[in-house]
Chains A and B, each alone.
Chain A
Amino acid sequence: MNTSRLGRWVSDHVVMFVALLVLIYMFLPIFFVVLMSFNDPTSRLNYEFQAFTLDNWTDPCSEAGMCASVVKSLQIGFLATVFATLLGTLVAFALVRHRFRGRAATSLLIFLPMATPEVVMGSSLLALFTSAGVAGSLGFWSILVAHIMFCLSFVVVTVKARLAGLDSRYEQAAMDLYANEWQTFWRVTFPLVFPGILAAALLAFSLSFDDFIVTNFNHGNTITFPMFVWGAAQRGIPPQVNVIGTVMFMIALALVLGSGLLQRRRAR
């Protein structure tokens, strides 16, 4: 009896302790990003904290080209999210709600981009653009095309999961109450699926905003934020990069915590 109680205490606390250590490991770099955003380095190639300053925060755009690259990433991220979410949601509806031939092939086509290393996807697109003779004009459009491509599968999977878990009796009830198909869709189905679509859109945006490898092959002269950081890393990292990293982190955290609170309030 005693040993089993001891065993349970140990298993409860040891597992939790290890879990907390792993969480600290996952959090360490974020802590450093915030810390280094207040750093006043003596040289760019120095990665240690040297002196405290607020200059990076009061004027982050003093680093030439950085803010322009952030704007470029926001634009591409926004457009890629809109297109990928739209196309992906349509595919998810077809997969869950419709019969058609070639279902296995379609599923495979959706799955493959998620299982392909980014370096292969990026280089394939470059090979295509080169053979099509447009390699000289790569830029905003080619990054957008690529981002829509790799975001699509993630949207399909996310929306599909939500749609498949939906109880179809809600829709039957609406139809029984003389709603036509259009009304049923917009008043019942769509609001129920919307959280899934929203989650898919947020996922698509973060994938697009953060993408480096695929973009690196197809960016032409267009500089997104990850491209800027990569370029800067060769010469030494400006501390302002960490300001952007910190702001991104806080916005995302606020969004997640906010949506959690909203859900809890709705559940009440």
Chain B
Amino acid sequence: MSVAQLGGTVAPGGAGPGEQEVAQEKRRGRAGYLLLLPGILWLIVFFIVPTIQLAATALYDPNGSLDTGYAMTWSFSNYLDAMSQYSDQFIRSFLYAGIATVLCLLLGYPLAYAIAFKSGRWKNLMLVLVIAPFFTSFLVRTLAWKSILSDNGFIVETLKTLSLIPEDGRLLATPVAVVTGLTYNFLPFMVLPLYANLEKIDPRLVEAGKDLYANGVTAFRRITLPLSMPGVVAGTLLTFIPAAGDYINSELLGTPQQRMIGNVIDNLFLVQLDYPAAAASSVLLMVAIVLLVLFYVRRAGTEDLV
């Protein structure tokens, strides 16, 4: 399993009749390269080259500054410095993103399952409702959580009445608020791939299981759940990756005690103008995510993701 395979192959089995013919029919020659050229060039110049520049910036002399310019000193120590200085924020990012991803799975699986198997004629409506959060601005709906979780809001009041939080307790400006925001904002990224996967499962397989005297729970555990693993893997990755890099939720719903690595990178680049440290943190985040993804995909043993 390599990353290349992650990006390869179209929707599995989706090509239908004529797949063989299309494969044979594919044209050789220059036309293909010409079609590719503009898009691929754009990605190389504005994605690959910047990433290389970022890695280079991470090795610049940390004593330089934007005004005087940076010298390339191959300072690998920048990485160690960033790791030790911002270890709290790194750990917090992965912790919050991990919790949010688990919550998304717990909330998203029943929803995707209900849409795929139980919704009947309400299917399209429910799908529209799932993507509805995308219809309004990310920042505006994150700010709405500020109102929902506010100190005199109905949620905090209810929790106080039930004595689930102390009289002077609050939700805003706590890790709970940040994780709630992350979970909310990335939930559709979990539900949609899960739904796409569950919907493809042949209901006859479950019926066959039941004919063989499996009860509902067993049939789910031994048939539906294993078959939905590709959806679980895709959904988890699509949720975890943006959540780990996000700093909007921690900034708007948290305090400096809930800062994640995204806040650090933003602050180092745009406020402190400490480019080498900022770039090193950024590269570390990317490397950590790539390693995690590779490890996770290998463990889950799923092939086609895109």
Residues of A within 8 A of B (CB): 4, 7-8, 11-12, 15-16, 18-19, 22-23, 25-30, 32-33, 35-36, 47-49, 87-88, 90-91, 93-100, 103-121, 123-128, 130-131, 145-146, 148-149, 152-153, 156-157, 160-161, 164-165, 167-169, 206, 209-210, 212-213, 216-217, 225-226, 229-230, 233, 237, 241-242, 244-246, 248-249, 252-253, 256-257, 260
**A225–B115 CA distance with the chains assembled, in angstroms:** 34
**A237–B79 CA distance with the chains assembled, in angstroms:** 38
Q: Shortest beta-carbon distance, B171 to chain A, in Å?
A: 12
Residues of B within 8 A of A252 (CB): 134-136
Q: Are B54 and A19 in contact (CB under 8 A)?
A: no
Q: Are B138 and A210 in contact (CB under 8 A)?
A: yes
Q: Shortest beta-carbon distance, A262 to chain B, in Å?
A: 13
Residues of A within 8 A of B31 (CB): 98
Also in contact, A36 and B242, with CB within 8 A (given A124-B54, A257-B128): no
- Near A by CB (< 8 A), chain B positions 219-247 give 237, 241-242, 244-247
Also in contact, A33 and B32, with CB within 8 A (given A168-B18, A226-B137): no
A interface footprint on B38-65 (CB within 8 Å = 1, 0 otherwise)? 1110111011111101101100000000
Q: Shortest beta-carbon distance, A47 to chain B, in Å?
A: 5
Q: Are B43 and A109 in contact (CB under 8 A)?
A: yes
Residues of B within 8 A of A23 (CB): 111, 126, 129-130
Q: Is B266 part of the contact surface with A, judged by Cβ < 8 Å?
A: yes
Question: B4-12, B80-88, B160-168: which lies at the A interface?
Answer: B4-12
Residues of B within 8 A of A91 (CB): 35-36, 39-40
Residue A7 contacts which of B38, B139, B215, B275 (CB distance < 8 angstroms)? B215
Q: Shortest beta-carbon distance, B229 to chain A, in Å?
A: 19
Q: Are A164 and B11 in contact (CB under 8 A)?
A: yes
Q: Which 8 A-B pairs have the closest CB atoms?
A: A117-B245, A98-B32, A111-B7, A19-B114, A252-B135, A124-B50, A94-B35, A245-B140
A interface footprint on B238-271 (CB within 8 Å = 1, 0 otherwise)? 0001101111100010000000011001100110
Residues of A within 8 A of B53 (CB): 124, 127-128, 131
Residue B11 contacts which of A8, A33, A161, A225 (CB distance < 8 angstroms)? A161
**A233–B245 CA distance with the chains assembled, in angstroms:** 20
